Amino acid sequence: MKAIVIKEFGTADQLEIIEMEKPLITDDQVLIKVKAAGINPVDTKIRAGSHISSKTLKLPAILGKDFSGIIEAIGQNVQHFEVGDAVFGLASQTYAEYIAVSPDVIVKKPDHISFEEAAAVPLAGLTAYQAVHDHLKVHSGDHILVQSAAGGVGHLAVQFAKVIGAFVSGTASGKNIEFLKELGVDQPIDYKNERFEEILSNLDSALDTMGGEVLYKSISCVKPGGKVVCLPSYTKDDPKAIELAQKGNVDLMWTMLTFKRESLLAISELLEKDLLKVFVGKTLPMDKIREAHKEIETHGTKGKIVIQM
């Protein structure tokens, strides 16, 4: 099979396609022929060697977390799945034509959702879902700010908040303001021409995807007793952010994704009912993986980038 690997850490040019043996499954695994793999910012950080998991990664290594595909073989202890089932999920080493995974990390793909759309969901979807539901605990009528609301995590977080019944303010560049309106954002803000911190105040919660000055200003917009989730792990325990949160009596959290199959099932149900739309901004063939990583690193993508296997 073909797989995308890195043999050493560095730029996107370190990514290459090699031939390797198809993985063997145990009695408790399924073999999946991968149809598509989502590309995430964390993939670029692992590739560059700057992510905490890079320290224990053995090279050469296959990258990737998101995937969709078709079950090709099933271990004798596996229940509830059959050969031929279309599925999607979250695993590791998904930049490959085949992966062997536990059935605990997959769910069945809704029929009307494409493999590309399904592959764009797991990591960003679970990150957004857990931020909105588990950490910010958004309720109907709450006012939430979603930073980078047109991005992979942001555009899904907006929709989760709207399903709950929240009032959503979201930031994006001017070219994506119409996209925010299509997502249901109640108050789109063009961060290049407007200062969100001068427009917003007394928020119930904020989801920050940037850190630094954007995080500081987000905290200032949240009311006492409100909550802020900051996603970039490299900003964790920022002293200035902690001080600002303490002064404002704001609950500031840096969260880590915890895989919960029940959360992925809940997301799949929203997709099935057309209450959630995942936007694939670009679909590229396997041999364009370097281009995909370079585009992710611009931090200006709309929706998700997906690689077809």
CB 96 within 8 A of CB 22: no
- What is the rounded CA–CA span in Å between residue 140 and residue 20? 50
Structural domains of the chain, ranges and CATH numbers in brackets:
2-121+278-308 (3.90.180.10), 124-254 (3.40.50.720)
Q: Which of 253, 242, 197 is nearest to 222 (CA)?
A: 197
Q: How do residues 74-99 score in pLDDT, each as one tens digit? A: 999 999 999 999 999 999 999 999 99
Q: How do residues 186-232 score in pLDDT, each as one tens digit? A: 999 999 999 999 999 999 999 999 999 999 999 999 999 999 999 98
Q: What is the pLDDT of residue 196?
A: 96
Q: How do residues 141-193 score in pLDDT, each as one tens digit? A: 999 999 999 999 999 999 999 999 999 999 999 999 999 999 999 999 999 99
pTM assigned to the model? 0.92
Buried/exposed code over 23-50 (b: 16+ C-beta within 10 A; e: otherwise): bebeeebbbbebbbbbbbbbbbbbbbee
